[in-house]
Amino acid sequence: MGRLSVDLCGIELDNPVIPASGTFGYGWEFAELYDINILGTFSFKGTTREPRFGNPTPRIADCPAGMLNAVGLQNPGVDRVIDTELMKLKTVFHKPVMANVSGFSVAEYAEVSAKLDAQPQVGWLEVNISCPNVHGGGMSFGTDPEQAASVVRAVKAVTTKPVIIKLTPNVTDIVTIAKACEQAGADGISLINTLLGMRIDLKTRKPVLANVTGGLSGPAVFPVALRMVWQVAHAVKIPVVGMGGISCAEDVLEMLTAGAAAVEVGAANLVDPLACKKIIEALPEAMDRYGIRNLRELRGA
Amino acid sequence: MKDVIFTIAAQKRLTDNVYEIRLTGDTSAITRPGQFVNLKLEGLFLRRPLSVCDLDGDTLTLIYKVVGRGTALLRGMTPGQEIPVLTGLGNGYETALSGDMPLLIGGGVGVPPLYLLAKRLRAEGKTVFAVLGFNTAAEIFYADRFRDLGCNLAVTTADGSFGIKGFVTDALPENYTHVYTCGPEPMLRAVYRKITTGGSFSFEKRMGCGFGACMGCSCKTIAGYKRICKEGPVLEKEEILWED
């Protein structure tokens, strides 16, 4: 085991850095720039049963130290993801990958999870019950402990692979939701999805985003994410994947110190496609600076 | 796609709010006219995309209109300053489609990507007709540059203060073999309706990453969903699906 390696639900990662779903496609664009096998793993684009175009454009707005997105789960649908994207992925990525699952009903979550579970390269299922940009699904499952638990139970029933539930920060008490997921059998928790926000264009006096609201990500949300990771990691026994605004090696160390077993990096990939590579390369030196021999010693500090 | 640090060589004001910036750096990833680059400006989170106007060795020329914080920041930058740039983005124009008499139609700040295209087509020995449309005489830029390349040129102004009064569609020649165009969407729609040949249309959309990862700039086409930043910004006439 290297000094950067960590364990995520029984699977060893060479390092804790995982590009977050929706910011890394299926890896292809990044593989053009660097060998993506240096990553711990990555979480691919959120997958639904049917193909989805997503929301009308504009879907993106710039913000101080961050961005809003309202993409709305654009994806080719689970069958295409399996036939095309995972086939292609095998040629550039040789580690277990994290499959990100979305849905609009408990049955859809289970159906998509079952199909992805059957893919040998899928190491974990990350179940997104926290998308703020779709209606009648996504976040509505993640804001109610009962509904969150019902998604967990339905997915657990169709897979033997670790199930990580991705939570929304747009709730009054994140700990209650996390505990409900743990009790329902979740193997891990990832957080935070984006924070609901909006912007107005003063020239048109209309919202910038066609969807009106969108999810805020980027360095602006890091302290909020860190606080929530801390709260959840201290309340559950299952591993927590921390994300939200991570953009440098020091942010990774803070997240792990707050109790995360691994981290996801999102918006930073969109501004600098080499962000994850740079973070991984900067970790040893940053660890030296703070007297950290290996990353496993940080957890639960 | 390549991640390159460029150095500003010069900035020049072309009109009241349109500027030309010349940058020096590794341009090798730019393989076609109509591609764009994405600039990381200090103090802004997302990068700002600009189309490639000209390319000469390691010199890259971009043209921008000051419309918001990004372009205002860019205007404030001076020679010698460095800008991290993702280069060689998007598909660009395919010169092989041009035929012998290509027609280039540009509107306002849609003109710049057509300049490198005109240069390449002229180098291939094509007879190039360029129609450049502006609102008013004071907003005209680069018309002389197209003429210097040996293009047959028509300039239109909406208010008639220079050249042909009206829109680009009022100044199209009778014979041409293929259309290349870039400009505001209403102009693209008018061109689409009017032309009688195939056409390559360059679109603009608000982008997140600019290299195909975020799905921020998706559009629907006859050939399925496309990303303006990756499969675009140039779409061929046959595949365009106008929304609403």
pLDDT at A278: 98
What's the CATH number where B179 sits? 3.40.50.80
Element (H, E) at A216: strand A214-217
Alpha carbon A252 to its chain centroid, in Å, reads 14
Note whether residue B233 is domain-resident. no
Please tell me the number of Cα atoms within 13 Å of A279 on its side-chain side: 28
For residue B230, the chain A residues in CB contact (below 8 A) are 29
Note whether residue B23 is domain-resident. yes
Residue A160, phi then psi, degrees to nearest 5: -105, -5
Ordered by where they begin, the domains of chain A are: 6-56+72-196+216-297 (3.20.20.70)
pLDDT tens-digit map of A292-301: 999 999 875 4
Instruction: Name the pLDDT band for A137 (thresholds 50, 70, 90).
Output: low
- Most B CBs within 10 A among A270, A274, A276, hence the mutation to make, goes to A270
Q: Look up A63 and say whether it is catalytic.
A: no
Q: Are residues B20 and B117 in the same domain?
A: no
Q: Long-range contact list for A254-258, CB < 8 A, 24+ apart?
A: A254/A226, A255/A225, A255/A226, A255/A229, A256/A6, A256/A16, A256/A295, A256/A298, A256/A299, A257/A298, A257/A301, A258/A226, A258/A229, A258/A230, A258/A233
Q: Are residues B138 and B52 in the same domain?
A: no
Burial (Cβ within 10 Å: 0-12, 13-18, ≥19) of residue B51: buried
DSSP state of A43: B
Q: Which segment of A132-136, A218-222, B221-225 scores lowest on mean pLDDT?
A: A132-136
The length of chain A is 301
Q: Are residues B126 and B186 in the same domain?
A: yes
User: Per-residue pLDDT averaged across A113-124, rounded?
Assistant: 98
Q: Are residues B26 and B125 in the same domain?
A: no
Note whether residue B218 is domain-resident. no
Note whether residue B213 is domain-resident. no
For residue B214, the chain A residues in CB contact (below 8 A) are 22-23, 60, 69, 71, 270
Enter the tokens of residue A279: 């973070």
The minimal CB distance from A23 to the residues B3, B214, B225 is found for B214
State which residues form the domain around B68.
Answer: 2-89
The residue type found at A199 is: R
Residue A191 confidence (pLDDT) above 70: yes
pLDDT at A73: 95
Element (H, E) at A77: none
DSSP state of B157: E
**Range list of H helices, B134-208:** 143-148, 185-194
DSSP state of A219: G
Note whether residue B242 is domain-resident. no
SS (H, E, C) B18-71: EEEEEEECCCCCCCCCCCEEEECCCCCCCCEEEEEEEEECCEEEEEEECCCHHH
Q: Are residues B103 and B13 in the same domain?
A: no
Instruction: Name the pLDDT band for A132 (thresholds 50, 70, 90).
Output: confident
Which residues in chain B belong to E strands, given as ranges? Answer: 2-13, 18-24, 36-39, 48-56, 59-65, 82-89, 102-107, 129-134, 152-157, 164-165, 178-182, 199-202, 218-221, 224-227, 234-236
pLDDT at A299: 74
Distance CA B109, CA B129 (A): 18
The residue type found at A16 is: P
Distance CA A154, CA A157 (A): 5
From B59, B89, B119, the end of a domain falls on: B89
pLDDT at A300: 53
* Cβ atoms within 10 Å, residue A91: 9
Q: Are residues B66 and B23 in the same domain?
A: yes
Strand order in the sheet with B234-236: B164-165, B152-157, B129-134, B102-107, B178-182, B199-202, B234-236
pLDDT at B61: 98
Q: Are residues B85 and B43 in the same domain?
A: yes
Residue A265 pairs in a beta bridge with A19
What's the CATH number where B68 sits? 2.40.30.10
Note whether residue B219 is domain-resident. no
For residue A274, the chain B residues in CB contact (below 8 A) are 3
From B74, B89, B104, the end of a domain falls on: B89
Q: How far is B80 from chain A (nearest CA, A)?
A: 23
The secondary structure of chain A in percent helix, strand, coil, rounded to multiples of 5, reads 35, 20, 45
Mean pLDDT by 10 residues, chain B (244 residues): 97 98 98 98 97 97 96 98 98 97 98 98 98 98 98 98 97 97 97 97 96 96 96 98 84
Q: Are residues B104 and B78 in the same domain?
A: no
pTM: 0.95
Q: Are residues B103 and B197 in the same domain?
A: yes
Asked if omega into B113 is within 30° of 0 (cis), the reply is no
**Which of left, alpha, beta for A218 (phi over 0: left; psi -120 to 50: alpha)?**
left
Q: Which residue has the tokens 């008639």?
A: B160
Chain B residues with CB within 8 Å of chain A CB: 1, 3, 40, 44-47, 70, 86, 205-209, 211-220, 225, 230, 243
Rounded mean pLDDT of chain A?
Answer: 95
Q: Are residues B55 and B108 in the same domain?
A: no
Domain count for chain B: 2
From B25, B56, B89, the end of a domain falls on: B89
Enter the tokens of residue A50: 């049917």
8 A C-beta contact, residue A280 and residue A37: no
Sign for the pseudo-dihedral over CA of A134, A55, A240, A185: positive
Note whether residue B145 is domain-resident. yes
pLDDT at A301: 46
Enter the tokens of residue A109: 């979550």
Distance CA A178, CA A187 (A): 11
Note whether residue B224 is domain-resident. no
Q: Which residue has the tokens 């009688």?
A: B196
DSSP state of B10: E
For residue B216, the chain A residues in CB contact (below 8 A) are 57-60, 69, 71
Q: Are residues B162 and B147 in the same domain?
A: yes
| Nearest 10 degrees: Cα torsion A23, A27, A29, A30 | 90
| Nearest 10 degrees: Cα torsion A296, A243, A64, B46 | 100
Q: Are residues B107 and B187 in the same domain?
A: yes
Using alpha carbons, select from B123, B126, B115, B128 the residue that is nearest to residue B173.
B128
